[in-house]
Structure 1
Amino acid sequence: MHVVAILALDKVIPFDLATPIEVFSRTPGYEVRVCGTSTVDTGTFKLQPAWGLDGLADADTIMIPGCADARAPVPADVIEALRSAAAAGTRIASICAGAFVLAATGLLDGKRATTHWVAAKAFAERFPAVVVDPDVLYVDNGQFLTSAGAAAGLDLCLHLIRRDHGSAAAADAARLSVMPLEREGGQAQFIVHPHPPTPQGSELEPVLRWMEDNVDRDLSLEDIAGHAGMSARTLNRRFREQMGTSPLQWLHLARVRRAQHLLESTSDPVELIGAQVGFGSPTAFRERFKRVVGTTPAAYRGAFRSSAQPADRV
């Protein structure tokens, strides 16, 4: 029997806690135990773990759910228990902000990891020795695994079942969860890409406004420089100094952001939307969109279009 120990720290996120309990409890071959140091206040209810930290010692897998305050210091006894388990070869996986707890042990140093995209910047700043990838649903380093938001924790649990018992068992678990065994794309499709910034009072403000108003045109660097009354070289240099990117990269992000809005709010064909936001061909639109968002325009529409919009007749 494979023992899955779920570490419940104070202020644990209820969904993060419930996901591994539900998935592994309903899959043959697993024994689930909830471990903690004291009564856990989730913010909506209180939980008394049946096991203390000693329940981690003989576990085969430890799951670390996220906590509401990722900035909270990790208790020394928790860090010691996780390091001891790791030294014994125990597999340790985190869900969402649980990556902060795992990283606090030093076990992720030099390794690739992920967490919820909202917390990715803070995670990278707090743990500079960890290679943060904010665009994926989960990262498997073998013994140590991390996942993005709460739903990505379910992706990770299914991945672990597939590692332990094969694809058939994982597919059964996915069906019970009414969940695809593999979701297309990564976390990037859920990241809110803000409109590219337009600094007030900047010498670039007029040209940025003009570019936003003309995203449907196939603008070249020379077109933009001509409107700005600068040489292409000068415009490129000033963009990089003030915007941190090139004029065309800024324009492409503006186009993708506009396309996301149209995909969410209209039933216009994907090819038409690509043309409306200035891409010269459907292929160029799909390639650029997938590079920024992490999934195809059609898949993005299927996931995010308002239910009030009629389905495409295709």
Structure 2
Amino acid sequence: FVMIKDTMITKILPRKNAFTRGAAGTRGRQGEAPLKAQVLAANLDTVFIVCGLDRDYNLRRIERYLTLVYNGGITPVIILTKTDLHEDPGIFIDQVADVAWGVPVHPISSVNRSGMDPLSEYLKPGCTIAMLGSSGVGKSTLLNCLAGNQIQETQGVSERVGKGKHTTTTRDLILMSNGGMIIDNPGIREIAFWDNDSGTPSAFPEIEHFARSCRFADCSHTHEPGCGVLGALNSGELTQDRLDSYHKIQKELSFMAQRQVKSADRIEKERWKDISIRIKSMKQRPK
């Protein structure tokens, strides 16, 4: 946001938060960690994590989305689209609730407009929402339903793969009639982390809870005796899929941090190398 006086920008206001990921296509040679950050949006109140109840449905992806949103210090809300494809979408709602831990989950259908009314509570005047999800999950269709008119172009479902088609190619901020704002993002194919691991305690609160009873403060929850997390796994309080997802995300965040440090060191070395070359060149100039 900026301050304006007489059509002139006088000041750029500081961000209250930023929704950031590792930029697509900037991974290292091995493809393990991104080398550049991409700010998708800033100064957000809510992020709608939009998932379709078709072939897009993936609990592990939802966990990654939640971590990404929590890393930015933003409030997530999960929107499950295309509920009209199932006689009992409640099964999916329960599954998502099990990994979302208190995050609101809203099942909706753009076909019969069921479940749309509660979403208006997030669109208060002055509030900004960003939509996050894969291509073809119905983000633009959802935006049109909330706006009450055709703002964004939409396409039908691909008969070949049974999923929605990629339509939105630009990032647009839409001002709604009541003063709320929605940012419609293009579909995300690559969920690359960039920020620190501050989002994992919120995305995996039950693991953080079990970890408090670990015998060792630096327990990795993999093999140590007296591990509260492994104890919960053995007792059935925690599933193996959930723990595997936690370890995978933690490993990515740790490796990403190492890559960023190495990248910063390399940039600093290159800067001083350039300075040395310039100094040497100046000394060699004839007097």
TM-score under structure 2 normalisation? 0.31
More strand by share: 2
More helix by share: 1
TM-score under structure 1 normalisation? 0.29
Bigger relative contact order, structure 1 or 2 (CA pairs below 8 A, ≥6 apart): 2
